[in-house]
Amino acid sequence: MASSRVIFNLTLPFPSDAPPIPSTCHSLSLSHSPLFTTPKIVCSSVRRRTCGAVYSHMTMEEKPLSENRMLVYVPPHPLIKHWVSVLRNEQTPCPIFRNAMAELGRLLMYEASRDWLPTVSGEIQSPMAVASVEFIDPREPVAVIPILRAGLALAEHASSILPATKTYHLGIRRDEETLQPTIYLNKLPEKFPEGSKVFVVDPMLATGGTIVAALSLLKDRGVGNKHIKVISAVSAPPALQKLSEQFPGLHVYTGIIDPEVNEKGFIIPGLGDAGDRSYGTDT
């Protein structure tokens, strides 16, 4: 069955009195080009209504995706919506919040690893007969890079779904006044092997400063945009716009896209400070 794509242009920042727009379920792609003043989002989905304050122009058409577009995927699985809802609730206690973050990360990494993992084929003897089989190639582990602190919770179940992984910790602190990122821990190797596949796990893509700093470090270490997949619980347009401008070909997998970021750099409605709520702190 042929699928249709809803194409609309975003005007950023979002006006406060704009009407709601159709949201996405499957995939979105943001492209940045000198020909466009705003990013274009292409989504494959059955449309539904949501409260997103944004002016839009929509057409239904089939259009091939450019390899240089940044793609943003919002998987439609009901469990993803469930765990996002648990995370949003201000009454969710710390242990349940952290578990919800871990479960959401597991689902997003499952979706992100589809058609991406290297495999080896062969034959084995089953209890009944010889069977042709296919395994994930353990010689090419996926690099998982959680951005501390909250990235640890979102990446907690990575090893339970990925047969071979290497974990590199990256600590980035955001100044609450300037909203600028500061790197305080860097366990990345000086150079990644050619062709390395990398998951960068950052629960909140808000202003985009932290994720841009992280991906810049990977670029300096030889990892191309098309070999990186970003895993995020909640994303917002300012961060996605920065990523689309600076990292063409990148793939982002997120539980939901919220409409705005406030003056303090928090996503609205968002889920609060993911690190504090994951570990029961307020610093």
Dist. CA 63–CA 8, nearest whole Å: 13
Q: Which residues of 133-161 are buried (b: 16+ CB within 10 A; e: fewer)?
A: eeebeeeebbbbbbbbbbbbbbbbbbeee
Give a yes or no: residue 268 inside a domain. Answer: yes
Give a yes or no: residue 172 inside a domain. Answer: yes
Give a yes or no: residue 208 inside a domain. Answer: yes
Token readout for 29 is 């792609």
Residues of the chain with pLDDT under 50: 1-63
Give a yes or no: residue 62 inside a domain. Answer: no
pLDDT of residue 283: 57
pLDDT of residue 67: 66
pLDDT of residue 277: 86
Q: What is the largest CA-CA distance in the chain?
A: 66
Instruction: Tell me which residue has tokens 């909140």.
Output: 204
pLDDT of residue 232: 96
Question: Which structural domain, as residue segments, surrounds residue 261?
Answer: 71-119+127-279
Give a yes or no: residue 12 inside a domain. Answer: no
CA 209 to chain centroid, in Å, comes to: 15
| CATH of residue 179 | 3.40.50.2020
The secondary structure element, H or E, covering residue 160 is helix 158-161
Give a yes or no: residue 36 inside a domain. Answer: no
Give 46-85 pLDDT, tens digit per residue. Answer: 333 333 333 223 333 444 555 678 899 999 999 999 999 9
Give 189-214 pLDDT, tens digit per residue. Answer: 999 998 899 999 999 999 999 999 99
Give a yes or no: residue 106 inside a domain. Answer: yes
Give a yes or no: residue 63 inside a domain. Answer: no
What pTM did the predictor assign?
0.77
Q: Which residue, among 140, 144, 190, 205, has the nearest Cα to 170 in the 3D structure?
A: 144
pLDDT of residue 66: 56
Q: How many domains does the chain have?
A: 1
pLDDT of residue 179: 72
pLDDT of residue 92: 94
